[in-house]
Amino acid sequence: MNIYLVASGDLRLSANQVCWDAQAQMEQLLSEAVAEAGGKIIRAHAYDEQKKHGFIDSQKMGMQVFKNIDPTAPLIVAESVWQYSHHVLAGLITHQGPILTVANWSGEWPGLVGMLNLNGSLTKAGVEYSTLWSVDFSDDFFKTNLKNWLQTATVQPDLSHVKAFDKALIPADELAAGVNFAKAFRKEKAIMGVFDEGCMGMFNAIVPDHLLHPTGIYKERLSQSSLYAKMLTVKDEEAEAVLQWLLDKGMQFDWGTDEATQLTRNQTLLQCKMYIAAVRIAAEFGCDTIGIQYQQGLKDLVPASDLVEGLLNNQNRPPVFDEAGNELFAGEALPHFNEVDECAGIDALVTYNLWRSMGLKGENTLHDLRYGEHYKNDSVDGFVWVFLISGAAPPEHFVGGYEGTSSERQPEMYFRLGGGSVKGVSKPGSIVWSRIYVMDDALHCDMGIGESVDLPKEELDRRWNMTTPQWPIMNAVLKGVSRDQMMGRHKANHIHVVYAENESEANKLCRIKAAALQELGIQVHFCGDVAV
């Protein structure tokens, strides 16, 4: 049986070139596994000698490639890198044959992240697909499921860890707390400021307005051009004051002098200007949460937005004043959703306010599900995920707070103009995790509890070095959810996390948050060991 293979890539040539070798190796192993199972891979697009990679690197190219694919044939989308889902979405939406998305289990490049984004995007688009992953494509789990797919055109994921929300499962006082919060939230209404919608082809991250409005949240469509223009009005001394505040708190900046490869003080100061500009625009439009796209458009003008994003998500952050000298959002975080992932934006805003309403620290963030391995020592024995995000998490999450936070230069293949990350290792403790997503033209949320665990330095460094060491990390164990259950179910590249005092509190807060989200019209599914 002939099976077509396509590989979606980044829009950035530099990233596609750097990551190509890993993709070529993965495709070789995958082709051998498919041959062993009785199939034959036909690559639907060639390696480009001039570009020096073999990825589909634009929506237009994707449409061309799919014109030459038999629409009824089985098709594999193979991913070892971060990819833009819209490159292949048009082709996959009209494809009629069975679709299998496959990623290699490697942290080197964000291939698992790329595949999960594609899965979430296909789910939102209502396209049927199956999904698989493997370290080297020779394990039984992969081989058995590949055979199943070849024979039956589907792979059945293990969803035995998922349980639908039922208010009868929630203690009455917790149900009332969640529902009352949600009713007040919806009545009050909130504004989500979106600085250019649709980052990096993340179709799944765009919440249609008709699904958003019933939650009480309305979008304010803002432009990154205005953000840039506002940056130009921020005075040098205002940026210096933000930087001094961070230095006084003990944050470290890994400064050098080469703009092309190192973080410079100048890049950091531009990031401080963006921070002030973002807060001023948010105040001007009355936004309750904002998301900056950055990775297309703004990336050609200024250093990365990560410093801005990490600071905004922290309640204790440098003060920002309007032009008349009034402090803006004094004493509060301004929840920010990285990569304008609007699903995460709903979560960030609801979670911050819900936790604050209960007198708790509300700092929360998304991370990528980047990688994971089982780890065992005297205190940890479980599958420990590498939750990692491209630069922005709140310092409150890190061991040592600001003193444990550093800013390192963003990798040049993604971020030509540099800028520093907000890097740290997330402190050990109980967490509530969640992910809001769009399926069947409705909002859903998967959620559960987990633990951010402390790994020995050697293991932590090994994980950082095999992924992206400049980015913030959380070593997370998800309670009652195996690696394969998570991968088979999760509908996004991102996962949301917030801390709880201990495991019993995490259970309680998870139930209250579930009740709140459900009241807002979001269909909740408990995953794993939530006590319900």
Q: From the CB of 72, what's the least distance to ligand CVU, in Å?
A: 32
Q: From the CB of 241, what's the least distance to ligand CVU, in Å?
A: 29
Question: How many of the other CB atoms lie within 10 Å of CB of 248?
Answer: 10
Phi, psi of 9 (to 5 degrees): -125, -165
Nearer to ligand CVU by Cβ, of 114 and 450: the residue is: 114
From 517, 446, 511, 504, select the one nearest 169 (Cα to Cα). Answer: 511
In the window 276-295, what residues touch ligand CVU (CB under 6 A)?
Answer: 295
Q: From the CB of 84, what's the least distance to ligand CVU, in Å?
A: 9
Nearer to ligand CVU by Cβ, of 305 and 351: the residue is: 305
Is 421 one of the binding residues for ligand CVU (CB under 6 A)?
Answer: no
Q: Which residue has the tokens 């800028």?
A: 419
From 270, 291, 268, select the one nearest 281 (Cα to Cα). Answer: 291
Q: Which residue has the tokens 């100048």?
A: 266
- List 390, 421, 426, 485, residue binding ligand CVU (CB under 6 A): 390
Nearer to ligand CVU by Cβ, of 6 and 113: the residue is: 113
Sheet with 75-79, side-by-side order of all strands: 40-43, 2-6, 75-79, 99-104, 130-134
Phi, psi of 12 (to 5 degrees): -90, 120
Q: For residues 257 and 75, what is the distance between their CA atoms, to the nearest angstrom?
A: 48
189: its two tokens:
């209404």
How big is the chain by its Cα radius of gyration, in Å?
A: 22
Q: For residues 491 and 122, what is the distance between their CA atoms, to the nearest angstrom?
A: 9
Q: For residues 176 and 192, what is the distance between their CA atoms, to the nearest angstrom?
A: 26
Q: For residues 312 and 393, what is the distance between their CA atoms, to the nearest angstrom?
A: 9
Q: From the CB of 496, what's the least distance to ligand CVU, in Å?
A: 13
Q: From the CB of 170, what's the least distance to ligand CVU, in Å?
A: 32
Pairing, β 130-134 against β 75-79 = unpaired
Bridge partners, 425 (sequence order): 473
Q: From the CB of 518, what's the least distance to ligand CVU, in Å?
A: 27
Nearer to ligand CVU by Cβ, of 368 and 451: the residue is: 368
Q: From the CB of 492, what's the least distance to ligand CVU, in Å?
A: 9
Nearer to ligand CVU by Cβ, of 494 and 513: the residue is: 494
Nearer to ligand CVU by Cβ, of 230 and 496: the residue is: 496
Q: From the CB of 197, what's the least distance to ligand CVU, in Å?
A: 16
Phi, psi of 259 (to 5 degrees): -55, -30
- List 57, 196, 306, 368, residue binding ligand CVU (CB under 6 A): 368
Nearer to ligand CVU by Cβ, of 82 and 149: the residue is: 82
Nearer to ligand CVU by Cβ, of 82 and 181: the residue is: 82
Is 493 one of the binding residues for ligand CVU (CB under 6 A)?
Answer: yes
Number of H helices, E strands in the chain: 15, 18
Nearer to ligand CVU by Cβ, of 253 and 414: the residue is: 414
Three-state DSSP state, 179 = helix
Three-state DSSP state, 528 = coil
Nearer to ligand CVU by Cβ, of 56 and 75: the residue is: 56
In the window 107-136, what residues touch ligand CVU (CB under 6 A)?
Answer: 110, 113
Nearer to ligand CVU by Cβ, of 69 and 348: the residue is: 348
Q: From the CB of 338, what's the least distance to ligand CVU, in Å?
A: 8
In the window 246-265, what residues touch ligand CVU (CB under 6 A)?
Answer: none
Nearer to ligand CVU by Cβ, of 116 and 320: the residue is: 116
Q: From the CB of 390, what's the least distance to ligand CVU, in Å?
A: 4
Asked if 117 contacts 204 with a C-beta cutoff of 8 angstroms, the reply is yes
Q: For residues 489 and 439, what is the distance between their CA atoms, to the nearest angstrom?
A: 12
- List 355, 414, 437, 464, residue binding ligand CVU (CB under 6 A): 414
Asked if 488 contacts 159 with a C-beta cutoff of 8 angstroms, the reply is yes
Three-state DSSP state, 58 = coil
Nearer to ligand CVU by Cβ, of 37 and 340: the residue is: 340
Three-state DSSP state, 352 = helix
Is 488 one of the binding residues for ligand CVU (CB under 6 A)?
Answer: no
Question: How many of the other CB atoms lie within 10 Å of CB of 210?
Answer: 8
Size of the site for ligand CVU (CB under 6 A): 9
Q: From the CB of 368, what's the least distance to ligand CVU, in Å?
A: 5
Q: What angle is formed at CA 195 by the lines to CA 295 and CA 211, rounded to 5 degrees?
A: 110
Q: For residues 307 and 273, what is the distance between their CA atoms, to the nearest angstrom?
A: 11
Q: From the CB of 494, what's the least distance to ligand CVU, in Å?
A: 6
466 exposure class (CB count in 10 Å sphere: 0-12, 13-18, 19+): middle
Q: For residues 233 and 214, what is the distance between their CA atoms, to the nearest angstrom?
A: 37
Show the site string, 307-346: x = touches ligand CVU by CB under 6 A, - = not.
--------------------------------x-------
Q: From the CB of 148, what's the least distance to ligand CVU, in Å?
A: 29
- List 4, 82, 84, 137, residue binding ligand CVU (CB under 6 A): 82
Contact set with ligand CVU (CB under 6 A): 82, 110, 113, 295, 339, 368, 390, 414, 493
